Amino acid sequence: MIALRTPVSLLHLAAAAGQRKRCTGGHRRRRHLSGAPESLWRRGPRPPRSPAPAAAAARSEPSTSSLPPPLENAAFEEYYKEQRIVHEEEWDAFMSVLRKPLPATFRVNASCRFLKDICSRLENDFRRSLENEVSDECGEYALSPLPWYPGNLAWHLNLSRKQLRKNPAVESFHEFLKHESEVGNVTRQEAVSMVPPLFLNVQAGHHILDMCAAPGSKTFQLLEMIHQSKEPGLLPTALVIANDLKVQRCDVLIHNTKRMCTANLIVTNHEAQSFPSCSLAKDDSEAYKDHCKPQRLEFDRVLCDVPCSGDGTLRKSHDLWRKWSSSMGNEFHLLQVNIAMRGIALLKVGGRMVYSTCSMNPVENEAVVAELLRRSGSSVELLDVSTELRELVRRPGLGTWKVNDRGSWFQTHEDVPDSRKNVILPSMFPSSTSIHESHKVYNSFDVNSEYNVPFSRNFNIEDTNNVNCDTGGISSSNSAQSLDSKFPLHRCMRIVPHDQDGGAFFIAVIHKLSPLNENQVIKVRKTENLLSKNRTVKLQEQCQHRIVSEVLDDNKLLDEQTKLSVANQTSKDDNLTEVKMASDVEYSQTESGDRSRRMDKLDYQHKWKGIDPVLFFKDEAVIKNIVSFFGIEESFSLEGHLVTRSTDNARRIYYVSKAVQDILELNIQVGEQIKIASLGVKMFERHRSKDGCSCAYRLSYEGLSLLFPYMRKRILHASPVDFQHLLQYRTINFARFADARFGEEAASMMPGCCVVVLREGYQIADSIASDPSPIAIVCWRGKATMNVLVSPADRKELLEYRFGIKAFKVEDEKSNKNIDALAEESL
């Protein structure tokens, strides 16, 4: 670019150019449009001059847009100082930690095959090497297990995720994490995000609902728990339904949970506050009259990790510093209440629900829990779980707080201007009496910042009922007029960043004692609907969540359900018509009536447009052919357990557990109220081979571990050398196997899918832990070759943990020369 002696604005340039165009002909116009600099100036171009030092310095500095966002927000600090979420003398430490990068954390899959090997590498290899290589940057403990997580399966790294990617000294460890995450052995998850599932106390046989599940790390954690609790060699009897509102988020959820290869998962796509109960029963007494077949959808455990403002994630979401405002929490409040109330409605009597957010805002936390207790009356109780996970540092919930709206602070709803009372709801305040407080209050408890200190390991929260607290000095404005909640909110848990160098989280554990009181729930809903009519519209625009407002009668519900659809699966649009149901009582009313009339109205095989239907695979000829070809024992029943997503010529066949089968049958009976995005584990796939295979389907590696114990045909046993070669080179000619007998057996087998098993009784390296379960892979017996049908990542895992090969390249094409060389070395 040529620097000009006389600065001329762009406007002047444009004016001058326009004047010259009017004075000159077409030739001049063409020269100007061609960009010749002579057309802009009467005199010739002047020599460039050196830029001013200040301008040069400015250009050498990064632009403002490229700079990271400032980690400051005066409104944030004012808000939380006023709420007294930490003690005054802790404030600087609290803010200091919030501005530091969040350490990377991850969790080892407790049900993975190579659990001992992975834990051994972490403890003996990586822990020592990282302490030596990055001790200056990370301190003494670069890598250490989280003390509160059971079994030392969760680990904390004193490096942020960005540092982990950029630091060459930890490159091998980063590659380890990426690979183990890809095959499902490790889940990279924020430490505080691991906490809520642990308080569910999942047991064998439990039906679990994850209401807002994406991206799926907590769902994966729940799946680990149900697979841990099963008897060895048997499929779990438990079930997990993972739900999310957005189609895009469901895709992420499916991708992340697919690594578990489980037949006990259903992924659904619903508004959480409108999740259907699929009731065939007229009332609760008939809900489980037939213990073999459920009459409605109810859960032993519900995880209610609701959408929130997310200011507990400031350490990793730096853009929130700029975006944060106090109105964010107010906008989510009613949605959170509605979702949690739906969770309580779907919870079995005696069941447990965990309500959680990654927010520090009491309007999203304690205020929501207090409203749940108000609405539910004596049907639920807030549990004291201070004796569980004693190593976890947590603080009691707040007993009092204020509500901020547009810079003004309010103690009660009566103080709110009339023009704002449809936005600032009574349930946001600690002293709200939006419904008669019939809930049993065990003890009166005054919680403020003086007692807002970490729990000790042997601390019992019930011992604090007579503590005399002061304001702690964080904010004394109007403290004498603050009103306390009448509920035992000190039983809630607050996790703050500077206690254990993590993020912030809020957790409350609710136990259902009896069915919800119908009159009480309906009264609350009518009151809140009137107050929140305008606010609902705003929240729909900002949060893309549908807020329910009234109860539909049976005919109206049918019409609404028929209209519920998504334009198409690839559009990733989630324009769902509202199904307006807010509580178990209300929703059960809409489900009563003549079932035959409902079934006539609904074509449930194509209920959800744009989503492939879930169909039971009932082609007896194909099933018999599969059973005969692979020699599947009768004890492993396929009847009623196979489903497909295509109406004809099924390409993929999925296997579902008995619990999932029961839910599918119930869903069909009620007209497919559940919108299913994914379910089960892929067991069989149609092949297009022309090798003369008598079975149209091959096995999927995802379902092999489930089916293999019941197979009696199409099985070959390979030596360690040949098994290793198959993993490394994928395709091997029969004549090239080191064990000639194995090559002959493969050549004599009929073409088609088979399973190759690592021969038992061989010696392995001392550093590799032995695994009593057989190691098997899915292969295809071709015309003259054996081809492995396993992904490179899974082949790499088997090579590393069964053969001790850590540095290698997985080949996709055979290399007979390398195979011969390796065979000679191994013999």
* Residues with catalytic function: 358
Q: Which residues contact 653 (CB under 8 A, 6 or more apart)?
A: 617, 642, 643, 644, 682, 683, 684, 685, 697
DSSP assignment letter at 406: T
The half-sphere exposure of 521 on its side-chain side, counting CA atoms within 13 A, is 27
Question: In this structure, are residues 288 and 294 in contact, taking their beta carbons and an 8 Å threshold?
Answer: yes
Dig out the tokens for 666 from the structure. 């119930």
Burial class (CB in 10 A: 0-12, 13-18, 19+), 706: middle
Burial class (CB in 10 A: 0-12, 13-18, 19+), 346: buried
**Helix axis angle, 247-257 relative to 217-228, nearest 10°?**
40
Cα 766 to Cα 515: distance, rounded to the nearest angstrom: 58
Cα 360 to Cα 141: distance, rounded to the nearest angstrom: 29
DSSP output for 345-357: HHEEEEEEEEEEE
Helix (H, G, I), strand (E, B) or coil at 106: strand
Q: Which residues contact 465 (CB under 8 A, 6 or more apart)?
A: 443, 444, 445
Could you tell me which of 486, 209, 542 has the C-alpha nearest to residue 355?
A: 209
The β-bridge partners of 303 are: 210, 354
Exposure string of 347-382, with b = 16+ CB inside 10 Å and e = fewer, is bbeebbbbbbbbbbbbbbbbbbbbbbbbbbbebbbb
DSSP output for 139-199: -S-SEEE-TTSGGG-EEEEEEEHHHHHH-GGGHHHHHHHHHHHHTTSEEE--GGGGHHHHT
Cα 612 to Cα 257: distance, rounded to the nearest angstrom: 20
Cα 280 to Cα 669: distance, rounded to the nearest angstrom: 8
DSSP assignment letter at 711: B
Place of tokens 């969760």: 154
Dihedral sign computed on CA atoms, order 133, 136, 140, 144:
negative
